[in-house]
Chain A
Amino acid sequence: MRYLYYPGCSLKGIGRAYEESLLAVCGALGVELKEIADWNCCGATAYMGIDETQALASR
């Protein structure tokens, strides 16, 4: 099985441990995960609190 996944900035920063364990578990289960190419900001957290439309636009 091959799946694409969207990590987001948190999985590349403070949540790095989650990405590592996710990839390890999926690898052990025979699920192949591939990061979506050139993914952009999901618009959550900081921006969401000011302007919903703009947060959604960056999605």
Chain B
Amino acid sequence: MDYTPRRLIHLAREGFKDEVLGSFTIWLCASCYECMVQCPKDIAVTEVMYRFKQRAIQEGRYPRKFPIPILAREFFRMVRADGRTAELRLVLRLFLRTRWRQLWRMRGLGWSLARTGRFTLKRERIRGRGEVAALLDAVAADKEVTP
């Protein structure tokens, strides 16, 4: 985390756009909403983080090769195309687009997963995928944000 959330909000208020949108902090927010629950001033910190992330995606300014925004993008693409995700295919896509060299180092894990029947490359596709895509497009059109 390069800036604490408190600093990040201050930076945004003072107009440090590059620092805010290029920061790692916004991508490390796991949207657990704990800050919003605890905040004595009812500040919607998680919502602010969503907005920063959406803006960073919109402007293509997230840290290069950083896995979290790429995972979000690949996740979205897979759900939009198929209606649901297939975990392993998603993880493989993520690695191929970020740190493909690490795949070799994880071969042991891959082998364990294969041995226990959890390593399947099967594509998961639902019949109603068109309806899911239509819903997602309607939201995207409303917000003008697509990763």
Residues of A within 8 A of B (CB): 9-10, 12-14, 16-17, 38-41, 43, 45-54, 57-58
Residues of B within 8 A of A (CB): 29-31, 47, 50, 53-54, 57, 68, 71-72, 75-76, 79, 83-88, 113, 116-118, 120, 124, 126-129, 132, 135-136, 138-140, 142-143, 145, 147
- Interface residues of chain A: helix, strand, loop or mixed (majority): loop
* B30 cross-chain contacts in A, Cβ below 8 A: 49
Chain A residue at minimal CB-CB distance from B56? A50
- Interface residues of chain B: helix, strand, loop or mixed (majority): helix
* A57 cross-chain contacts in B, Cβ below 8 A: 135-136, 138-139
B119 to chain A, nearest CB (A): 9
Separation of A14 and B119 alpha carbons in the complex (Å): 8
